[in-house]
Amino acid sequence: MKLPIIYSDKHKLHAPPLEIYDDLKEEYSEKPERIEAIHKKLTEEHFGEFISPLEFPEEVIKSMHHRAYVDFLSTRSRNLKEGEVLYPSYFITDTYIAVTPGTYTAAVESVNIALTGAQKVLNGEKLVYSLCRPPGHHAEERSMGGYCFFNNASIAADMMSKKGRVAILDIDFHHGNGTQNMFYERSDVLYVSIHADPALKYPYKTGYLDEVGKGIGLGFNKNYPLPLETGDAEYLPVLRRALQEVQSFNPDYIVLSAGFDTYEKDPIGGFKLTVPFYEAIGQEIKALNISTLVVQEGGYAVDALGDMARNLLKGLSFTS
């Protein structure tokens, strides 16, 4: 039985050249080579079976994102001429995300990748990897930000929540402000995140310990902010504690928002996790024995992404 990996090359339609940060223009870190590096490594190692995503109606996106935002992105992206780049001022939470003519198509395809994976898990697959790009966990109901346009993991988790209890475990280096917000007042989906202290790193505004959910959602949001320089040895006990939270929620499904920007050499991150440690992360999660959809988020050290992805999936695999 081969691991289903949902992949599409349409992400290449979104490839802005530059990001703007504190008045500085730099190479856009969230680039197509990221996903291509993972695709290449997993292909070379015959790790899994690549499957093209199905198409889902735009209404599924609009069930989690405000239609004014979806329509804005759709119109503005598709009205751009080839080579044009827009740095939007509306429906955005930062200054550096860029919209190109292919951005909307790529962002919709990324959601399709997550939803196709979700459907496979609902149909009984124990582990599926949705190789999403652009990433999603910073996208809020009405805004893009942090290289994210639509919240792939949240849209998938919402769909899965109609069939069972869903826990989202977010191990990207950055707090998933979009995902937290979307489920903050819900008790049927648990959000647990391990990330860099938001006092020091993006998204700055959320990810603190005292954000524990609201109303009926009280107690169903858990943040584990960690100091910069966190290494394998410090990360492991926190991961175990987070997994205890997941386990006591007794979920039918896990959606793993998987970012590799926790890696020691990531150009944007600031933790010190090593490449082999991603297998240990996978093993810890697998030990819960819960069907898992892995949704790709961040990770910018292109040369090491393939190894990290393979190690995480190896650890998660029931057949290995």
The residues of the shown chain that bind ligand SP5, judged by CB under 6 A, are 21, 26, 29, 135, 138, 146-148, 172, 174, 202, 259, 261, 267-268, 297-298
CA distance 46 to 314: 12
CB of 297 or CB of 307, closer to ligand SP5 = 297
Residue nearest to ligand SP5 (CB): 298
Contact between 19 and Zn ion per CB under 5 A? no
Find out whether 253 and 160 touch, Cβ atoms under 8 Å: yes
CB of 138 or CB of 286, closer to ligand SP5 = 138
Instruction: State in angstroms the smallest separation of the CB of 202 from ligand SP5.
Output: 4
**The tokens of 13 are what?**
């339609």
CA distance 96 to 252: 37
| Rounded alpha-carbon distances, angstroms, from residue 139 to 171, 236, 277 | 16, 28, 28
Catalytic residue among 138, 174, 175, 195: 138
From Zn ion, ligand SP5, none, interface partner of 280 (C-beta below 5 to 8 A by class): none
CA distance 90 to 270: 30
Question: Helices (DSSP H) in 133-256: which residue ranges?
Answer: 152-161, 177-183, 232-249
Instruction: State in angstroms the smallest separation of the CB of 52 from Zn ion.
Output: 26
Instruction: State in angstroms the smallest separation of the CB of 34 from ligand SP5.
Output: 10
Can you tell me which of 53, 217, 259, 282 binds Zn ion, judged by CB under 5 A? 259
CA atoms within 13 A on the CB side of 249: 29
- Catalytic annotation on 11? no
Q: Per-residue string for binding with Zn ion, 155-174, x by CB under 5 A?
A: -----------------xxx
- In degrees and rounded to multiples of 5, residue 23 shows phi and psi of 70, 0
Can you tell me which of 30, 261, 266, 279 binds Zn ion, judged by CB under 5 A? 261
Find out whether 298 and 260 touch, Cβ atoms under 8 Å: yes
Instruction: State in angstroms the smallest separation of the CB of 174 from Zn ion.
Output: 4
CB of 198 or CB of 298, closer to ligand SP5 = 298
Tell me which amino acid residue 14 is. Answer: H
Contact between 298 and Zn ion per CB under 5 A? yes
Instruction: State in angstroms the smallest separation of the CB of 29 from ligand SP5.
Output: 5
Q: How far apart are the first and last CA of the chain?
A: 10
Question: What SS3 state is found at 231?
Answer: strand
Give me the residues that bind Zn ion (CB under 5 A), please: 172-174, 259, 261, 298
Q: Which residues are catalytic?
A: 138
